[in-house]
Structures are given as C-alpha cells and as structure tokens.
Structure 1
C-alpha cells in the first residue's frame, strides 16, 4: 500500500522525511498547527512547579517533626522531580521534531500526494500504478541490467508521480463538482454540469490508460522474470550434467540418460529464446511509457 507519493525532484533526504510523516500530514489535514516554541527562560514551568512542591514537602516534614514524613519526602521528591523533568523534556523534543516536520511539509506543499486525500476510485488507480512500478524496479531482470535500469530508475518514479498528481487534482475537482450538484440543479445548470462531468470522466480515462500502460510493462517484465529464473535453473542443471552422466554410468542405467540430457539441452535453448523474446517485449512496452 502506498501512503505518500513524492515528486522525484524533491531531494532524497527530504522525500524520505515526507514519506515517513504520514501521521503529521493527517493531523495537518485536520487543521492541526504546532504550538510555537517556548521563549527563552520559559518552558520549564512544570519542572519548577514540581521542585517547589517537593521543597514544600520537605519543609512541612521538618516543621511537623515527623521523621517518617521527612525520610519519605527526601526519597520521593528527587524521584518525582527526575520523572517529570524527563517527561517534560521528552514532550518538548517531540514537539520540536513535529514543528520541523510541519515546516518541511509546508515548504514542499504541492510536491507530494497523500493517498488518504484521494477518493476511492483514484486511490485504487494509485495502488495499481504503485504495484506495477514496484514489480518492475524490484525484479531480478532489472537488477541484473537486462532492462534499461537507468531509465527505469528515472522514468517510473516520474510516471507514478504524474499519475498521483493528476489523481489528486481529479479527486479534489470531482468532490467539488458533486457537492455543487448534490442538492439538485435546474435544467440550465444541468446543461453546464453534465459536460463538465464528462470532462472529469474523460480525464479519469486518460489516467487509467497511463496505469494500464504501466501494468502492461510490468506484465512483460514478469514474463521476462519467469523466463530468466527458469533459464538460470536450467543452466545450473546443465552445469551438473557430468555428475548425472557419471552416476548413471556407474549404476548401469544408461538407457535413461541420453534422452533426458538431450531434453535438458532443448529446454535450455527454448528458454533462452523465450527470455530474449520476453525482454524484447518488455523493451517495446517500455517505449510506450515515453511522454
């Protein structure tokens, strides 16, 4: 599942921070704004208050001349102070971190898409696009350089981002359109609204076409992946042929050796051809992703 899609032009470290900050993004969408940082000399009010209370406990214990009360105050007060100081500092560090994330997210507003902002139809399309991109980039044939791995590393994230960006605009505009026409409209308004609704549908169809192109490419890569793995397995078996031949000869089972070995060689040749064809098909499908 994809949570946040980031413009590939965003620096890698900043993009990583954005992807890891879904919880802050959701809070921001609900109207959350971080509390400003405390002014110099302020911010330890809780700690100061607790220390004051602890000191009062000791004073009261002394004035009451209760030895048990005094010992309790002397032991409990430092523990209470340390616990609350640690809690206060932890909360302040978290608040500082969230303020920094908030500023970063505001700076890059418009260069990332939160999946939760999309309507259901758009979210499904984004998931399909993400799965297709992931299937290609994480494939063995891509890692081995049998595909155009350099262009994949550039073009596929760009394709996913463009799809996410278009879906975000489509979702927002579709929500506004539905809100306008929900309570019923006059014939005059309907005459304008219906063509605009068709424009939204047409835009979605165009995005669907982009997603399907990615899926076709991923399907071709999956076929190449299957052929490549089978080819590797056959080559491993061929590399051990002499061991099989030796065992068969020693066991006196020569009648079973020749046909199986010949079949192994034929299968290897066929898989090699299948791999070449599937890689060629993948390269052809990739060409259709060019903008």
Structure 2
C-alpha cells in the first residue's frame, strides 16, 4: 500500500556507495544537508571553483550517494526502516564481540543499504512516471498497454519490502541476543569490593549516635513543652473560673 498520502515525516540519512573511501564517506555524511541530489544535475566547474572542498566532493561522487530528496515518501519510509535495522545490528554488543555467526556485518550491511537505496530511487522515479501516465490524455486502451510496467514496479517494490523486513527480523534477533549477552556479562562480573565504602560508613557511626542523642533530647524537650502547655492551659482555666466567680459575687452584693 502506498504511503504517499501521509505527511512526509521520514528523513533517512544519506546512503553512500560503500566503495567510496571511508574518509570521503564520512565527509559526505557530515555534509549531507547540502549535497546535490543524485537526481539533480551535477555542479558545474564554476561552482567547484567557488564552492570549495564540499562542492568538489559533490562533483566527484555525484551519483554515488543518495539523499532524501532523491526519494518519494514511500521510498523514504523503507530506507529509514532499513537503516534503523542496520544500525541496531552494527551497534549491538554481540556484533562488536564478533558473535554473529562470522558474518562481516561491517561490509555486508552497508552494501545492503546502498543496494536498497538505489532500487528505492528507481522506484521513486518510476512511480512518478506512472503518475504522469495516469494523468495523461491517453485513452484507457492506450494506457492499458503499460500495465506490464506497473506490474514490474509492483513486484520490485514487494521484493525490496521483503528485503527490508528480513533486515528487521535480523535486527530483532540481534537485539534478543544482545539482551542475553548483557545479562550473562552482568552475571559473570566479580562482586564489587565495597570494603572502603563500608569502613567509611562505619566511621560515621559516632555521628549517628550523636544525632540519636540529640533526637532523644528533642523528644524530651517536646514532652516538656507539651507539659508546659498543659500547665498554661490549666492556669488559664483557673483564672477564668476565678474571674467568673468574682463577677458573680459582685453581682449579688450590689443593692
């Protein structure tokens, strides 16, 4: 199902031909926001003279990298999915430890990404061709002559989607293996030596004993304050009763 009606929110990173030297691949990724799309004309010599090293890099490798602008929304989403799966594998602990069945992921996965990106760029161009064909003034009979083109595109999209899904399954299996690996690593760690911390805490016992003594003093003081409050309340009550009695005596003695 096409996702081209959705907001264009997928932003895959630049895909680079793995045959490009590593230093130049890194430079292309660092400048991916200013790279000329592979589907646009290569910068001219004047631009190279005025633009410096980045433009020279673009001119040298134009067509050997693919940026988001080269892809339609459907293709961007698939490339993002592929890149996320590849990153999951390459960044996993089991991959770094060389435990993934001897597969050289550092070589094979960048090649996978590049092949997928190239095909997705072709899909994007052909979907646009088919869109223009549907909107053309050709008769339905004339348009039907190009049904094999649509079928070829459909089958290719399905094949690339399956390839991306296979990468995602590989990434999920890698993530599961990673969880087990990390758990075993933690289990095999030697117990931490906490003797210095324990000694330091034991040396603080005296301070806590002093705190407890002050706490008892606070509790005793609180009890004493409560007793004083009760005494004050009793005195207040006695004075009130005495005043009332005096008023009553005064009232009875008045002629």
- Do they superpose with TM above 0.5? yes
2:202 alignment counterpart: none
Residue 193 of structure 1 and its aligned partner are, at CA, apart by 2.5
Over 3 Å counting, the alpha-carbon distance change for 1:199 and 1:31 in structure 2 is: closer
Partner residue of 2:109 out of 134, 156, 159: 156
Take 1:11 and 1:231, find their aligned partners in 2: how far apart are those partners?
38
2:168 alignment counterpart: 215
1:19 alignment counterpart: 29
Take 1:218 and 1:33, find their aligned partners in 2: how far apart are those partners?
38
Length, aligned pairs only: 183
- Which one has a larger percent helix, Structure 1 or Structure 2? 1
Residue 29 of structure 1 and its aligned partner are, at CA, apart by 6.9
Superposed CA offset, 1:66-115 (max 9, x none):
xxxxxxxxxxxxxxxxxxxxxxxxxxxxx867343223222222211112
Partner residue of 1:6 out of 7, 11, 16: 16
Over 3 Å counting, the alpha-carbon distance change for 1:18 and 1:97 in structure 2 is: farther
TM-score, normalised by the number of residues in structure 1: 0.56
Take 1:197 and 1:28, find their aligned partners in 2: how far apart are those partners?
24
In structure 1, runs of 5+ residues without a counterpart are 38-94, 244-291
1:274 alignment counterpart: none
TM-score, normalised by the number of residues in structure 2: 0.63
**C-alpha root-mean-square deviation of aligned residues, in Å?**
2.8
Q: Out of 122-131 and 227-236, give the one that drifted further.
A: 227-236
Take 1:112 and 1:228, find their aligned partners in 2: how far apart are those partners?
35
Find the residue that maps to 1:145 and give its secondary structure. coil
Kept in 1: contact 2:37–2:66 (CA 8 A): no
Q: Larger Rg: 1 or 2?
A: 2
1:200 alignment counterpart: 153
Pair 1:138 & 2:71 matched: no
Residue 31 of structure 1 and its aligned partner are, at CA, apart by 6.8
